[in-house]
Amino acid sequence: MARVVSSLPRRRLVASLALGAAAVLFVPVGCSKSAAPPRPQRPQRPEADTSSGGPPAGATSGMSAGTIGVSLLTLDNPFFKLIGDTIAAKAREKTLYAQVVSADKDVAKQGNQVKDFIVRKVSAIVLSPCDSKAIGPVIAEANAAGIPVFTVDIPYRGEDAKVVTQIATDNFGGGKEAATAMIEALGAAGGKVAILHFKQAESCLLRVGGFREVIDAYNAALPAGHAAIEIVAELEAGGARDSGYKAAEDALQAHGDLRGIFAINDPSALGAVGALEKAGKTAQVVVVGFDGQPEGKEAIRDGKIYADPIQFPVKMGEQIVDAIVRHSKGEELPPEMFIPTSLYRKADAVNDPDLRPAGEPAPAN
């Protein structure tokens, strides 16, 4: 487990945060191999500026002081996009600048992004690591530069670098909830289940660990008249829709009598739904996802996904910015702060106001 910073140099962070505001925008960051310049450099704007707005009144555009450098696993996934958007919005409330970039699931690219943050002398760095151990050397570089590092959703699990705190979903608990949903859905008949995994991410390893623990306990104390639930495959699905589709196809070909699929996030779950629709097996195979993204919730409402342990990315984004500010004021933070999931079924989707067209009344109870 990562060592947690008990006392990091805070003077520069306090001064940087106090300097105040700059614009919040998403820009791609490349690796700079030169030594840090004597003054913070103006960030390079991309060809397509996707800024969420101009700087607050009185802000110095492009300043590195008061800047939070954020590198997330991917911005193609709506879950991480929402975390990034929330960090950006919360930073603006604090008159800070959040530079949010996508690592595109590439450890080397993420390492280059962190190196660039260091060159720019940002006040704090937030990561959702592409690899929970391989990211260690660049975190250590940030440590050496006196820049505090925070992780969100995916933790750092190495031994050679330090993070201030980790804010994440209780992924192990969420995996246990997913197993509860699978047991409900399969009922006494039990049957064969496949897992669509993304082993590169620590959060997904925890989800699968929780899922397996509950399934194993269920099988060990099997109620009379109930058949066991057998996990027959654990396939790499990349956490993406297209690879989830392919992994589900492979599972169906190998196990024609498959009864259930647990997918570690909504994109891979939706890919599995597509494969089931193509194979004509939507009535045979139950899908349990994870996340609670809008499209995933719609699929639950429509009966295509049985349930999701839902996460709260807005809370995660808000809490990580709050943690940065609290740390800058000298407050000691716990090594990890977990946000529980909530199991979301069809009844929840039917009554979810976010899924109803504007003006449509809530269904009668």
DSSP letter for each residue of 55-88: PPTT--TT-STTEEEEEES-SSSHHHHHHHHHHH
With cut-offs at 50, 70 and 90, classify the pLDDT of residue 359: low
Q: Is residue 263 part of a domain?
A: yes
State the average pLDDT over residues 309-336: 96
Are 239 and 266 contained in the same domain?
yes
Asked if 149 and 127 count as a contact pair (C-beta separation under 8 A), the reply is: yes
Residue 294 forms part of a structural domain: yes
The reply to whether 362 falls in a domain is no
Matching residue, tokens 């201030």: 164
Same domain for 181 and 154: no
CATH code, domain carrying 62: 3.40.50.2300
What whole-number distance in Å separates Cα of residue 271 and Cα of residue 257?
19
Least confident range from 29-43, 97-111, 114-128, 304-318: namely 29-43
Q: Which of 5-9, 288-292, 301-305 has the lowest mean pLDDT?
A: 5-9
Query: Same domain for 230 and 140?
Result: no
Residue 179 scores a pLDDT above 90: yes
Is the confidence at residue 35, as pLDDT, over 90?
no
Residue 267 sits in the same domain as residue 155: no
- What is the pLDDT confidence band of residue 364, given thresholds at 50, 70 and 90? low
* Cα atoms in the Cβ-side hemisphere of radius 13 Å centred on 317: 24
Three-class DSSP category at 216: helix
**More confidently predicted of 113 and 29:** 113
Is the pLDDT at 117 greater than 90, yes or no? yes
* DSSP tally for the chain: helices H, then strands E: 11, 15
Decide: 126 and 68 in contact? Cβ < 8 Å: yes
| Domain assignment of residue 326, yes or no | no
Range of the domain at 139: 3-164
Residue 319 lies in a domain: no
Instruction: Please report which confidence band the pLDDT of residue 73 belongs to, taking 50, 70 and 90 as the band edges.
Output: very high
Dihedral of CA 242/247/250/256: which sign? negative
Q: How far apart are CA 350 and CA 177, in angstroms?
A: 20
Nearest to 55 by CA among 96, 103, 19: 96
Q: Are the C-beta atoms of 125 and 57 separated by less than 8 Å?
A: no
Cα 151 to Cα 153: distance, rounded to the nearest angstrom: 7
The last residue of a domain, from among 119, 141, 164? 164
Structural domain count of the chain: 2
pLDDT above 60 (res 168): yes
* Mean pLDDT value across residues 169-174: 97
> Does the pLDDT value for residue 33 go beyond 90?
no
How confident is residue 10, by pLDDT bands cut at 50, 70 and 90?
low
What is the greatest pairwise CA distance in the chain? 74
Q: How buried is 149 (Cβ within 10 angstroms: 0-12 exposed, 13-18 middle, 19+ buried)?
A: buried
- Average pLDDT of span 194-214: 96
Beta strands in the chain (DSSP E): 3-4, 25-26, 67-72, 97-102, 124-127, 149-152, 162-163, 166-169, 191-197, 229-236, 258-263, 286-288, 308-310, 336-339, 342-344
Q: What's the pLDDT band for 356 if we cut at 50, 70, 90?
A: confident
Residues 7 and 148 both lie in one domain = yes
Q: Do 30 and 107 have their domain in common?
A: yes
User: Above 90 in pLDDT, residue 176?
Assistant: yes
The reply to whether 79 and 176 lie within a common domain is no
- Judge whether 320 lies within some domain: no
Q: Do residue 221 and residue 243 come from a single domain?
A: yes
In this structure, is residue 241 part of a structural domain? yes
**What pTM was computed for the model?**
0.75
- Has residue 12 got a pLDDT over 50? yes
Q: Pick the closest to residue 46 from 25, 67, 28 (CA basis).
A: 28
Average pLDDT, the chain: 86
Clarify whether residues 77 and 129 are in a common domain.
Answer: yes
Which of 140, 148, 144 shows the shortest CA–CA distance to 124?
148
Instruction: Let me know whether 143 and 257 are in one domain.
Output: no
329 is a domain residue: no
pLDDT for the residue 361: 63
Instruction: Determine the distance from the C-alpha atom of residue 261 to the mean position of all C-alpha atoms in its chain, rounded to a whole number.
Output: 21
Residue 223 — pLDDT band, cuts 50, 70, 90?
confident
Report the share of the chain in percent with pLDDT over 90. 77
210 shares a domain with 74: no
Q: If you average pLDDT over residues 234-258, what whole number do you get?
A: 97
Bigger pLDDT: 168 vs 2? 168
Q: Say whether both 139 and 251 belong to one domain.
A: no
